[in-house]
Structure 1
Amino acid sequence: MLKIALSGCNGRMGRVITDIVSGREGMEIVAGFDINTAKNGAFPVFADPFEFQGDCDVIIDFSNASSTEHLLDYCEKHHIPVVICTTGHSAEQLAKIREASTKIPVFRSGNMSIGINLMTELLRKSAAVLGDKYDVEIIEKHHNQKLDAPSGTALMLADAVADALPYDAEYVYDRHERREKRPAHEIGISAIRGGTIVGEHSVLFCGRDEIIEIKHTALSREVFAVGAVDAAAFMAGCTQPGIYDMNDVIASRGK
Protein backbone atom coordinates (compact mmCIF):
# COMPACT_ATOMS: atom_id res chain seq x y z
CA MET A 1 0.00 0.00 0.00
CA LEU A 2 1.42 3.37 -1.08
CA LYS A 3 1.27 5.79 1.86
CA ILE A 4 0.84 9.46 0.94
CA ALA A 5 1.01 12.57 3.11
CA LEU A 6 -0.82 15.57 1.66
CA SER A 7 0.33 19.13 2.38
CA GLY A 8 -2.48 21.62 1.84
CA CYS A 9 -5.07 18.89 2.37
CA ASN A 10 -7.91 21.28 3.18
CA GLY A 11 -7.40 23.54 0.17
CA ARG A 12 -9.29 23.24 -3.12
CA MET A 13 -6.74 20.96 -4.75
CA GLY A 14 -6.15 19.03 -1.54
CA ARG A 15 -9.80 18.02 -1.38
CA VAL A 16 -9.79 16.93 -5.04
CA ILE A 17 -6.64 14.86 -4.52
CA THR A 18 -8.24 13.22 -1.47
CA ASP A 19 -11.16 12.13 -3.67
CA ILE A 20 -8.84 10.81 -6.39
CA VAL A 21 -6.76 8.75 -3.96
CA SER A 22 -9.84 7.33 -2.25
CA GLY A 23 -10.96 5.93 -5.60
CA ARG A 24 -7.66 4.21 -6.39
CA GLU A 25 -6.53 0.82 -5.20
CA GLY A 26 -3.13 0.36 -3.60
CA MET A 27 -2.75 3.84 -2.11
CA GLU A 28 -4.02 5.87 0.81
CA ILE A 29 -3.51 9.24 2.46
CA VAL A 30 -2.12 8.64 5.94
CA ALA A 31 -1.77 12.27 7.06
CA GLY A 32 -2.60 15.80 6.05
CA PHE A 33 -0.69 19.02 6.72
CA ASP A 34 -2.61 22.31 6.77
CA ILE A 35 -2.93 25.50 8.83
CA ASN A 36 -6.63 24.60 8.92
CA THR A 37 -6.57 21.40 10.97
CA ALA A 38 -10.21 20.46 10.39
CA LYS A 39 -10.52 16.76 9.65
CA ASN A 40 -12.32 16.28 6.32
CA GLY A 41 -11.06 12.80 5.50
CA ALA A 42 -10.14 9.49 7.08
CA PHE A 43 -6.71 10.74 8.11
CA PRO A 44 -5.33 13.03 10.84
CA VAL A 45 -4.43 16.64 10.00
CA PHE A 46 -1.42 18.45 11.48
CA ALA A 47 -0.55 22.14 11.38
CA ASP A 48 3.15 21.23 11.34
CA PRO A 49 4.58 18.23 9.42
CA PHE A 50 6.97 17.55 12.31
CA GLU A 51 3.95 16.70 14.50
CA PHE A 52 3.31 13.62 12.35
CA GLN A 53 5.00 10.56 13.87
CA GLY A 54 3.86 7.96 11.33
CA ASP A 55 5.40 6.66 8.13
CA CYS A 56 4.76 7.72 4.55
CA ASP A 57 6.31 6.90 1.18
CA VAL A 58 5.85 10.26 -0.56
CA ILE A 59 4.45 13.74 0.10
CA ILE A 60 2.26 15.76 -2.26
CA ASP A 61 2.49 19.52 -1.70
CA PHE A 62 -0.43 21.64 -2.90
CA SER A 63 -0.23 24.27 -0.17
CA ASN A 64 1.44 27.68 -0.35
CA ALA A 65 4.89 28.74 -1.47
CA SER A 66 5.60 30.09 2.02
CA SER A 67 5.29 26.55 3.43
CA THR A 68 7.70 24.87 1.02
CA GLU A 69 10.97 25.39 2.88
CA HIS A 70 9.64 23.99 6.17
CA LEU A 71 8.16 21.00 4.34
CA LEU A 72 11.48 20.36 2.60
CA ASP A 73 13.22 20.37 5.99
CA TYR A 74 10.85 17.61 7.08
CA CYS A 75 11.37 15.63 3.87
CA GLU A 76 15.16 15.88 4.15
CA LYS A 77 15.15 14.78 7.79
CA HIS A 78 13.04 11.70 7.01
CA HIS A 79 14.41 11.08 3.48
CA ILE A 80 10.97 11.24 1.86
CA PRO A 81 10.41 12.05 -1.85
CA VAL A 82 8.19 15.09 -2.41
CA VAL A 83 5.93 16.21 -5.26
CA ILE A 84 5.83 20.02 -5.29
CA CYS A 85 2.73 21.24 -7.10
CA THR A 86 2.72 24.66 -5.43
CA THR A 87 3.76 27.63 -7.61
CA GLY A 88 4.76 31.25 -7.01
CA HIS A 89 8.10 30.53 -5.35
CA SER A 90 10.67 33.28 -4.88
CA ALA A 91 14.25 32.97 -6.13
CA GLU A 92 15.36 32.07 -2.61
CA GLN A 93 12.70 29.37 -2.32
CA LEU A 94 13.67 27.93 -5.70
CA ALA A 95 17.26 27.79 -4.50
CA LYS A 96 16.09 25.83 -1.45
CA ILE A 97 14.26 23.38 -3.71
CA ARG A 98 17.39 22.86 -5.80
CA GLU A 99 19.47 22.37 -2.65
CA ALA A 100 17.00 19.79 -1.32
CA SER A 101 17.14 17.89 -4.62
CA THR A 102 20.81 17.09 -3.92
CA LYS A 103 19.66 15.09 -0.90
CA ILE A 104 16.21 13.69 -1.77
CA PRO A 105 14.10 13.06 -4.90
CA VAL A 106 12.11 16.23 -5.66
CA PHE A 107 9.37 16.45 -8.28
CA ARG A 108 8.50 19.95 -9.47
CA SER A 109 6.33 21.13 -12.33
CA GLY A 110 4.64 24.41 -13.11
CA ASN A 111 1.58 22.40 -14.14
CA MET A 112 0.52 18.86 -13.29
CA SER A 113 -1.57 18.29 -16.43
CA ILE A 114 -0.15 15.79 -18.91
CA GLY A 115 -1.74 17.88 -21.69
CA ILE A 116 0.21 20.99 -20.67
CA ASN A 117 3.44 19.03 -20.54
CA LEU A 118 2.86 17.66 -24.03
CA MET A 119 2.10 21.24 -25.10
CA THR A 120 5.59 22.31 -24.01
CA GLU A 121 7.08 19.87 -26.52
CA LEU A 122 4.90 21.32 -29.30
CA LEU A 123 6.07 24.80 -28.34
CA ARG A 124 9.74 23.84 -28.47
CA LYS A 125 9.29 22.39 -31.96
CA SER A 126 7.28 25.40 -33.13
CA ALA A 127 9.80 27.92 -31.79
CA ALA A 128 12.69 26.05 -33.40
CA VAL A 129 10.97 26.13 -36.81
CA LEU A 130 9.50 29.64 -36.66
CA GLY A 131 12.60 31.24 -35.14
CA ASP A 132 12.82 35.02 -35.05
CA LYS A 133 10.26 35.59 -37.82
CA TYR A 134 7.34 35.43 -35.37
CA ASP A 135 6.47 37.43 -32.25
CA VAL A 136 5.53 35.31 -29.24
CA GLU A 137 2.73 36.25 -26.84
CA ILE A 138 1.34 34.19 -23.96
CA ILE A 139 -2.08 34.78 -22.40
CA GLU A 140 -3.11 32.94 -19.24
CA LYS A 141 -6.49 33.01 -17.50
CA HIS A 142 -7.37 31.85 -13.98
CA HIS A 143 -10.02 32.27 -11.30
CA ASN A 144 -10.16 35.38 -9.15
CA GLN A 145 -8.77 33.58 -6.07
CA LYS A 146 -5.37 32.74 -7.59
CA LEU A 147 -2.56 34.53 -5.77
CA ASP A 148 0.39 34.50 -8.18
CA ALA A 149 0.61 36.16 -11.58
CA PRO A 150 1.75 35.22 -14.09
CA SER A 151 1.00 31.59 -13.40
CA GLY A 152 3.76 29.03 -12.96
CA THR A 153 2.41 27.34 -16.08
CA ALA A 154 2.76 30.50 -18.16
CA LEU A 155 6.40 30.79 -17.09
CA MET A 156 6.95 27.10 -17.84
CA LEU A 157 5.55 27.59 -21.35
CA ALA A 158 7.65 30.73 -21.85
CA ASP A 159 10.77 28.81 -20.81
CA ALA A 160 9.95 26.05 -23.32
CA VAL A 161 9.68 28.60 -26.13
CA ALA A 162 12.77 30.52 -25.04
CA ASP A 163 14.87 27.34 -24.94
CA ALA A 164 14.28 26.81 -28.66
CA LEU A 165 14.51 30.40 -29.94
CA PRO A 166 17.70 31.56 -31.69
CA TYR A 167 17.98 34.61 -29.38
CA ASP A 168 17.88 35.43 -25.67
CA ALA A 169 14.26 36.39 -25.09
CA GLU A 170 13.17 39.09 -22.64
CA TYR A 171 10.00 38.33 -20.67
CA VAL A 172 7.71 41.37 -20.64
CA TYR A 173 4.79 41.39 -18.19
CA ASP A 174 3.53 44.97 -18.43
CA ARG A 175 3.58 47.42 -21.32
CA HIS A 176 1.46 50.25 -19.97
CA GLU A 177 4.51 52.39 -19.22
CA ARG A 178 6.16 51.69 -22.56
CA ARG A 179 5.70 54.19 -25.37
CA GLU A 180 7.53 52.33 -28.13
CA LYS A 181 7.03 49.72 -30.80
CA ARG A 182 7.28 46.13 -29.70
CA PRO A 183 10.93 44.98 -29.74
CA ALA A 184 11.52 41.81 -31.72
CA HIS A 185 13.25 39.70 -29.10
CA GLU A 186 10.70 39.49 -26.32
CA ILE A 187 7.98 37.16 -25.04
CA GLY A 188 4.91 38.99 -23.82
CA ILE A 189 3.06 37.38 -20.90
CA SER A 190 -0.40 38.58 -19.90
CA ALA A 191 -2.50 37.43 -16.92
CA ILE A 192 -6.30 37.52 -16.60
CA ARG A 193 -8.09 36.83 -13.31
CA GLY A 194 -11.84 36.39 -13.10
CA GLY A 195 -14.73 34.24 -12.00
CA THR A 196 -14.13 30.52 -11.65
CA ILE A 197 -11.80 29.94 -14.62
CA VAL A 198 -9.87 26.76 -13.81
CA GLY A 199 -6.99 27.45 -16.16
CA GLU A 200 -6.48 28.46 -19.76
CA HIS A 201 -3.18 29.07 -21.55
CA SER A 202 -2.66 30.29 -25.09
CA VAL A 203 0.65 30.78 -26.87
CA LEU A 204 0.54 32.87 -30.04
CA PHE A 205 3.21 32.93 -32.73
CA CYS A 206 2.36 36.11 -34.64
CA GLY A 207 3.95 36.45 -38.07
CA ARG A 208 3.30 38.42 -41.20
CA ASP A 209 -0.32 37.83 -42.21
CA GLU A 210 -0.77 34.73 -40.02
CA ILE A 211 -1.11 33.68 -36.40
CA ILE A 212 -0.39 30.22 -35.04
CA GLU A 213 -2.05 29.56 -31.68
CA ILE A 214 -1.43 26.59 -29.38
CA LYS A 215 -3.92 26.44 -26.54
CA HIS A 216 -4.80 24.31 -23.51
CA THR A 217 -7.97 24.61 -21.43
CA ALA A 218 -8.52 22.81 -18.14
CA LEU A 219 -12.22 22.16 -17.54
CA SER A 220 -11.82 20.98 -13.95
CA ARG A 221 -9.17 20.77 -11.22
CA GLU A 222 -9.28 16.99 -11.52
CA VAL A 223 -6.76 16.99 -14.39
CA PHE A 224 -4.17 18.51 -12.05
CA ALA A 225 -5.06 16.16 -9.19
CA VAL A 226 -4.71 13.09 -11.39
CA GLY A 227 -1.29 14.29 -12.53
CA ALA A 228 -0.19 14.90 -8.95
CA VAL A 229 -1.26 11.42 -7.83
CA ASP A 230 0.43 9.83 -10.85
CA ALA A 231 3.59 11.77 -10.01
CA ALA A 232 3.41 10.59 -6.39
CA ALA A 233 3.17 6.96 -7.52
CA PHE A 234 6.22 7.50 -9.74
CA MET A 235 8.25 9.33 -7.09
CA ALA A 236 7.61 6.68 -4.44
CA GLY A 237 9.83 4.40 -6.49
CA CYS A 238 12.63 6.95 -6.90
CA THR A 239 15.68 6.45 -4.72
CA GLN A 240 18.14 8.82 -6.39
CA PRO A 241 18.17 12.49 -5.31
CA GLY A 242 17.48 14.95 -8.09
CA ILE A 243 14.87 17.12 -9.78
CA TYR A 244 12.11 15.21 -11.59
CA ASP A 245 9.19 16.48 -13.65
CA MET A 246 6.18 15.28 -15.63
CA ASN A 247 8.37 14.31 -18.58
CA ASP A 248 9.88 11.62 -16.35
CA VAL A 249 6.40 10.31 -15.54
CA ILE A 250 5.43 10.28 -19.22
CA ALA A 251 8.69 8.53 -20.18
CA SER A 252 8.17 5.87 -17.50
CA ARG A 253 4.89 4.86 -19.13
CA GLY A 254 6.70 3.88 -22.28
CA LYS A 255 9.00 1.45 -20.48
Structure 2
Amino acid sequence: MRIAVIGAAGRMGKTLIQAITDANGVELGAAIVEPTSSLVGVDAGEVAGVGKLGVSIVSDIKDCVADFDVLIDFTTPALSVANAAYCADNGKSIVIGTTGLNDEQKALLAEAGKKTSVVFAPNMSVGVNLTLKLLSLAAQILGDDYDVEVVEAHHRHKVDSPSGTALRMGEVVAEALGRDLKECAVYGREGQIGPRTQKEIGFETIRAGDVVGEHSVWFATEGERIEIVHKASSRMTFAKGAVRAAAWLKDQQAGLFDMQDVLNLK
Protein backbone atom coordinates (compact mmCIF):
# COMPACT_ATOMS: atom_id res chain seq x y z
CA MET A 1 0.00 0.00 0.00
CA ARG A 2 1.60 3.26 -1.16
CA ILE A 3 0.61 6.31 0.87
CA ALA A 4 0.88 9.97 -0.10
CA VAL A 5 1.09 12.69 2.53
CA ILE A 6 -0.05 16.22 1.74
CA GLY A 7 1.34 18.98 3.93
CA ALA A 8 4.47 16.87 4.27
CA ALA A 9 6.64 19.71 5.63
CA GLY A 10 4.29 20.54 8.52
CA ARG A 11 4.31 19.12 12.04
CA MET A 12 1.60 16.58 11.29
CA GLY A 13 3.03 15.77 7.87
CA LYS A 14 6.44 14.90 9.29
CA THR A 15 4.83 12.77 11.99
CA LEU A 16 2.79 10.92 9.36
CA ILE A 17 5.92 10.13 7.37
CA GLN A 18 7.55 8.77 10.53
CA ALA A 19 4.48 6.63 11.24
CA ILE A 20 4.42 5.26 7.69
CA THR A 21 8.11 4.39 7.95
CA ASP A 22 7.50 2.51 11.20
CA ALA A 23 4.41 0.62 10.01
CA ASN A 24 4.30 -2.77 8.30
CA GLY A 25 2.69 -3.30 4.92
CA VAL A 26 2.75 0.33 3.83
CA GLU A 27 5.33 2.69 2.31
CA LEU A 28 5.58 6.37 1.49
CA GLY A 29 4.72 6.80 -2.17
CA ALA A 30 4.56 10.59 -2.42
CA ALA A 31 4.89 13.77 -0.38
CA ILE A 32 3.25 17.07 -1.30
CA VAL A 33 3.80 20.63 -0.07
CA GLU A 34 2.70 24.12 -1.09
CA PRO A 35 4.04 25.30 -4.47
CA THR A 36 5.93 28.13 -2.77
CA SER A 37 7.82 25.83 -0.42
CA SER A 38 11.62 25.77 -0.63
CA LEU A 39 11.49 22.02 0.09
CA VAL A 40 10.17 21.01 -3.34
CA GLY A 41 12.59 18.41 -4.72
CA VAL A 42 14.05 17.52 -1.31
CA ASP A 43 13.87 13.91 -0.07
CA ALA A 44 10.77 13.60 2.14
CA GLY A 45 12.51 11.27 4.56
CA GLU A 46 15.26 13.77 5.25
CA VAL A 47 12.66 16.49 5.96
CA ALA A 48 10.87 14.16 8.39
CA GLY A 49 14.10 13.13 10.07
CA VAL A 50 13.95 9.44 9.16
CA GLY A 51 16.71 9.37 6.55
CA LYS A 52 16.51 9.18 2.79
CA LEU A 53 13.45 7.38 1.43
CA GLY A 54 13.91 8.05 -2.27
CA VAL A 55 10.70 10.11 -2.42
CA SER A 56 11.16 13.67 -3.64
CA ILE A 57 8.70 16.26 -2.41
CA VAL A 58 6.39 17.70 -5.10
CA SER A 59 4.15 20.75 -5.15
CA ASP A 60 1.00 19.35 -6.78
CA ILE A 61 -0.97 16.16 -6.31
CA LYS A 62 -1.16 15.88 -10.10
CA ASP A 63 2.61 15.42 -10.22
CA CYS A 64 2.49 12.20 -8.16
CA VAL A 65 -0.92 10.66 -8.88
CA ALA A 66 0.72 7.52 -10.29
CA ASP A 67 2.84 7.06 -7.16
CA PHE A 68 0.23 6.38 -4.45
CA ASP A 69 -2.85 4.32 -3.64
CA VAL A 70 -4.22 6.38 -0.76
CA LEU A 71 -3.77 10.01 0.29
CA ILE A 72 -3.66 11.13 3.93
CA ASP A 73 -4.91 14.69 4.34
CA PHE A 74 -4.75 16.81 7.51
CA THR A 75 -4.88 20.19 5.75
CA THR A 76 -7.81 22.62 5.53
CA PRO A 77 -11.52 22.00 4.88
CA ALA A 78 -11.54 23.46 1.36
CA LEU A 79 -8.37 21.66 0.29
CA SER A 80 -9.46 18.35 1.81
CA VAL A 81 -12.75 18.48 -0.09
CA ALA A 82 -10.91 19.30 -3.34
CA ASN A 83 -8.47 16.44 -2.75
CA ALA A 84 -11.32 14.03 -2.06
CA ALA A 85 -12.92 14.94 -5.38
CA TYR A 86 -9.60 14.53 -7.18
CA CYS A 87 -8.99 11.13 -5.61
CA ALA A 88 -12.52 10.02 -6.49
CA ASP A 89 -11.97 11.01 -10.12
CA ASN A 90 -8.62 9.23 -10.30
CA GLY A 91 -9.28 5.95 -8.52
CA LYS A 92 -7.43 6.79 -5.31
CA SER A 93 -8.58 6.33 -1.73
CA ILE A 94 -8.28 9.09 0.86
CA VAL A 95 -8.04 9.43 4.65
CA ILE A 96 -9.09 12.84 6.00
CA GLY A 97 -8.34 14.02 9.52
CA THR A 98 -9.06 17.69 8.86
CA THR A 99 -11.44 19.41 11.29
CA GLY A 100 -13.74 22.38 10.88
CA LEU A 101 -15.73 21.14 7.86
CA ASN A 102 -19.24 22.54 7.51
CA ASP A 103 -22.30 20.51 6.53
CA GLU A 104 -21.93 21.35 2.83
CA GLN A 105 -18.32 20.20 2.79
CA LYS A 106 -19.23 16.99 4.60
CA ALA A 107 -21.89 16.37 1.97
CA LEU A 108 -19.22 16.70 -0.73
CA LEU A 109 -17.17 14.02 1.02
CA ALA A 110 -20.22 11.78 0.89
CA GLU A 111 -20.39 12.42 -2.87
CA ALA A 112 -16.73 11.42 -3.21
CA GLY A 113 -17.55 8.28 -1.25
CA LYS A 114 -19.87 7.17 -4.02
CA LYS A 115 -16.84 6.75 -6.32
CA THR A 116 -13.98 5.83 -3.99
CA SER A 117 -13.26 4.76 -0.43
CA VAL A 118 -13.01 7.64 2.05
CA VAL A 119 -12.24 7.59 5.77
CA PHE A 120 -13.19 10.88 7.42
CA ALA A 121 -12.86 11.36 11.17
CA PRO A 122 -12.20 14.45 13.30
CA ASN A 123 -9.79 12.38 15.38
CA MET A 124 -7.78 9.40 14.16
CA SER A 125 -6.63 8.30 17.62
CA VAL A 126 -7.58 4.73 18.51
CA GLY A 127 -8.03 5.84 22.11
CA VAL A 128 -10.35 8.70 21.21
CA ASN A 129 -12.54 6.44 19.11
CA LEU A 130 -12.78 3.95 21.96
CA THR A 131 -13.72 6.90 24.16
CA LEU A 132 -16.58 7.73 21.78
CA LYS A 133 -17.92 4.23 22.27
CA LEU A 134 -17.71 4.63 26.05
CA LEU A 135 -19.49 8.00 25.87
CA SER A 136 -22.39 6.50 23.96
CA LEU A 137 -22.73 3.69 26.51
CA ALA A 138 -22.50 6.11 29.45
CA ALA A 139 -25.14 8.44 28.01
CA GLN A 140 -27.55 5.58 27.35
CA ILE A 141 -27.22 4.34 30.94
CA LEU A 142 -27.22 7.71 32.72
CA GLY A 143 -29.96 9.36 30.66
CA ASP A 144 -31.40 12.84 31.11
CA ASP A 145 -30.80 13.01 34.87
CA TYR A 146 -27.14 13.90 34.33
CA ASP A 147 -25.85 17.26 33.07
CA VAL A 148 -23.34 16.94 30.22
CA GLU A 149 -20.35 19.23 29.74
CA VAL A 150 -17.49 18.86 27.22
CA VAL A 151 -14.17 20.51 28.10
CA GLU A 152 -11.34 20.56 25.56
CA ALA A 153 -7.83 22.03 25.43
CA HIS A 154 -5.42 22.45 22.51
CA HIS A 155 -2.29 24.37 21.54
CA ARG A 156 -2.40 28.07 20.80
CA HIS A 157 -2.15 27.54 17.02
CA LYS A 158 -5.41 25.60 16.58
CA VAL A 159 -7.79 27.68 14.48
CA ASP A 160 -11.18 26.00 14.99
CA SER A 161 -13.20 25.95 18.19
CA PRO A 162 -14.59 23.81 19.66
CA SER A 163 -12.36 21.07 18.32
CA GLY A 164 -13.79 18.60 15.85
CA THR A 165 -13.27 15.87 18.43
CA ALA A 166 -15.21 17.80 21.08
CA LEU A 167 -18.07 18.32 18.65
CA ARG A 168 -18.07 14.64 17.73
CA MET A 169 -18.17 13.73 21.42
CA GLY A 170 -21.16 16.03 21.83
CA GLU A 171 -22.85 14.48 18.80
CA VAL A 172 -22.34 10.96 20.12
CA VAL A 173 -23.82 11.85 23.52
CA ALA A 174 -26.72 13.75 21.93
CA GLU A 175 -27.52 10.83 19.62
CA ALA A 176 -27.51 8.40 22.55
CA LEU A 177 -29.89 10.70 24.45
CA GLY A 178 -32.19 11.28 21.48
CA ARG A 179 -31.26 14.95 21.13
CA ASP A 180 -30.15 17.17 18.24
CA LEU A 181 -26.82 18.78 19.13
CA LYS A 182 -27.60 21.80 16.96
CA GLU A 183 -30.55 22.55 19.22
CA CYS A 184 -29.08 21.74 22.63
CA ALA A 185 -25.42 22.83 22.40
CA VAL A 186 -24.25 25.82 24.47
CA TYR A 187 -20.84 27.20 23.53
CA GLY A 188 -19.35 29.00 26.52
CA ARG A 189 -21.22 31.01 29.14
CA GLU A 190 -20.92 34.62 30.27
CA GLY A 191 -22.98 37.03 32.35
CA GLN A 192 -26.33 36.52 34.05
CA ILE A 193 -27.52 33.56 32.02
CA GLY A 194 -29.62 31.83 34.66
CA PRO A 195 -29.48 28.14 35.58
CA ARG A 196 -28.64 25.57 32.92
CA THR A 197 -31.48 23.74 31.24
CA GLN A 198 -31.85 20.03 31.72
CA LYS A 199 -31.04 18.96 28.18
CA GLU A 200 -28.30 21.37 27.12
CA ILE A 201 -24.80 20.09 26.35
CA GLY A 202 -22.14 22.63 27.23
CA PHE A 203 -18.76 23.20 25.58
CA GLU A 204 -15.75 24.92 27.13
CA THR A 205 -12.58 25.62 25.14
CA ILE A 206 -8.98 26.24 26.24
CA ARG A 207 -6.21 27.37 23.87
CA ALA A 208 -2.74 27.54 25.41
CA GLY A 209 0.89 26.67 24.84
CA ASP A 210 1.69 23.41 23.11
CA VAL A 211 -1.16 21.21 24.37
CA VAL A 212 -1.55 18.41 21.82
CA GLY A 213 -5.15 17.61 22.71
CA GLU A 214 -7.17 16.97 25.87
CA HIS A 215 -10.88 16.17 26.09
CA SER A 216 -13.03 15.59 29.14
CA VAL A 217 -16.76 14.86 29.18
CA TRP A 218 -18.60 15.36 32.45
CA PHE A 219 -21.80 13.57 33.42
CA ALA A 220 -22.87 15.31 36.64
CA THR A 221 -25.90 15.08 38.92
CA GLU A 222 -26.70 15.68 42.57
CA GLY A 223 -24.13 13.76 44.61
CA GLU A 224 -21.76 12.50 41.92
CA ARG A 225 -19.82 13.29 38.76
CA ILE A 226 -18.42 10.89 36.17
CA GLU A 227 -15.61 12.09 33.91
CA ILE A 228 -14.48 10.30 30.77
CA VAL A 229 -11.11 11.73 29.76
CA HIS A 230 -8.67 11.36 26.87
CA LYS A 231 -5.28 13.08 26.79
CA ALA A 232 -2.92 12.99 23.82
CA SER A 233 0.75 13.69 24.51
CA SER A 234 2.03 13.28 20.95
CA ARG A 235 0.75 13.77 17.40
CA MET A 236 2.03 10.27 16.72
CA THR A 237 -1.19 8.81 18.16
CA PHE A 238 -3.17 10.56 15.40
CA ALA A 239 -0.62 9.61 12.74
CA LYS A 240 -0.66 5.93 13.69
CA GLY A 241 -4.44 5.89 13.53
CA ALA A 242 -4.43 7.54 10.10
CA VAL A 243 -1.92 5.01 8.76
CA ARG A 244 -4.04 2.20 10.20
CA ALA A 245 -7.06 3.66 8.39
CA ALA A 246 -5.10 3.89 5.14
CA ALA A 247 -4.08 0.23 5.36
CA TRP A 248 -7.69 -0.75 6.16
CA LEU A 249 -8.91 0.90 2.96
CA LYS A 250 -6.98 -1.62 0.87
CA ASP A 251 -9.84 -4.09 1.18
CA GLN A 252 -12.74 -1.63 0.97
CA GLN A 253 -15.07 -0.71 -1.85
CA ALA A 254 -16.35 2.83 -2.41
CA GLY A 255 -17.98 4.41 0.62
CA LEU A 256 -17.68 7.05 3.31
CA PHE A 257 -16.29 5.53 6.52
CA ASP A 258 -15.04 6.73 9.88
CA MET A 259 -12.65 5.37 12.51
CA GLN A 260 -15.47 3.47 14.17
CA ASP A 261 -15.64 1.42 10.96
CA VAL A 262 -11.86 0.99 10.83
CA LEU A 263 -11.77 -0.27 14.43
CA ASN A 264 -14.93 -2.40 14.08
CA LEU A 265 -16.61 -0.54 16.93
CA LYS A 266 -20.05 -0.25 15.33
TM-score range, shorter chain: over 0.9
Shift of 1:126: 0.8
Shift of 1:3: 0.7
Shift of 1:46: 2.7
Q: In structure 2, what is the equivalent of residue 47 of structure 1?
A: 59
Cα distance in 1 between the residues matched to 2:225 and 2:143:
14
- Residue 88 of structure 2 contacts residue 113 of structure 2 at CA under 8 Å; is this kept in 1? no
Residue 83 of structure 2 is aligned to residue 83 of structure 1: no
Shift of 1:11: 1.4
Q: In structure 1, what is the equivalent of residue 134 of structure 2?
A: 122
Residue 209 of structure 2 is aligned to residue 209 of structure 1: no
What percentage of aligned pairs have identical amino acids? 41
Cα distance in 2 between the residues matched to 1:28 and 1:204:
41
Alignment gaps of 5+ in structure 1: none
Coordinate RMSD, CA, aligned: 1.7
Cα distance in 1 between the residues matched to 2:198 and 2:154:
28
Cα distance in 2 between the residues matched to 1:98 and 1:251:
20
C-alpha offsets along residues 36-75 of structure 1, whole Å, 9 cap, x if unaligned? 3613423222332123242311111112222112212220
Q: In structure 2, what is the equivalent of residue 181 of structure 1?
A: 195
Structure 2 residue matching 1:125: 3-state secondary structure: helix
The one of 179, 182, 198 aligned to 2:212:
198
Residue 5 of structure 2 is aligned to residue 6 of structure 1: yes
- Residues 225, 53 of structure 1: alpha-carbon distance in 2 compared, 3 angstrom cutoff: closer
Q: In structure 2, what is the equivalent of residue 15 of structure 1?
A: 14
Alignment gaps of 5+ in structure 2: 46-52
**Letter in structure 1 aligned against 2:145:** K
Shift of 1:10: 1.4
Q: In structure 2, what is the equivalent of residue 141 of structure 1?
A: 153
Segment of structure 1 superposing worse, 49-58 or 112-121: 49-58
**Letter in structure 1 aligned against 2:9:** N
Structure 1 residue matching 2:195: 3-state secondary structure: coil
Cα distance in 1 between the residues matched to 2:180 and 2:119:
27
What does 1:233-244 align with in structure 2 at a 5 Å threshold?
233-238=247-252, 240-244=253-257
**Letter in structure 2 aligned against 1:119:** T
**Letter in structure 2 aligned against 1:200:** E
C-alpha offsets along residues 147-183 of structure 1, whole Å, 9 cap, x if unaligned? 1111110011111101111444511113226622211
Query: What number of residue pairs does the alignment pair up?
Result: 250
Residue 240 of structure 2 is aligned to residue 226 of structure 1: yes
TM-score, normalised with respect to structure 2: 0.89
Q: In structure 1, what is the equivalent of residue 30 of structure 2?
A: 31
**Letter in structure 2 aligned against 1:229:** V
- Residue 76 of structure 1 contacts residue 100 of structure 1 at CA under 8 Å; is this kept in 2? yes
Cα distance in 2 between the residues matched to 1:25 and 1:164:
37
Q: In structure 1, what is the equivalent of residue 48 of structure 2?
A: none
- Residues 227, 53 of structure 1: alpha-carbon distance in 2 compared, 3 angstrom cutoff: closer
- Residues 11, 144 of structure 1: alpha-carbon distance in 2 compared, 3 angstrom cutoff: same
Structure 1 residue matching 2:139: 3-state secondary structure: helix
Shift of 1:102: 1.4
Segment of structure 1 superposing worse, 164-173 or 58-67: 164-173
Structure 1 residue matching 2:264: 3-state secondary structure: helix
Cα distance in 2 between the residues matched to 1:17 and 1:4:
10
- Residue 30 of structure 2 contacts residue 67 of structure 2 at CA under 8 Å; is this kept in 1? no
- Residue 153 of structure 2 contacts residue 206 of structure 2 at CA under 8 Å; is this kept in 1? yes
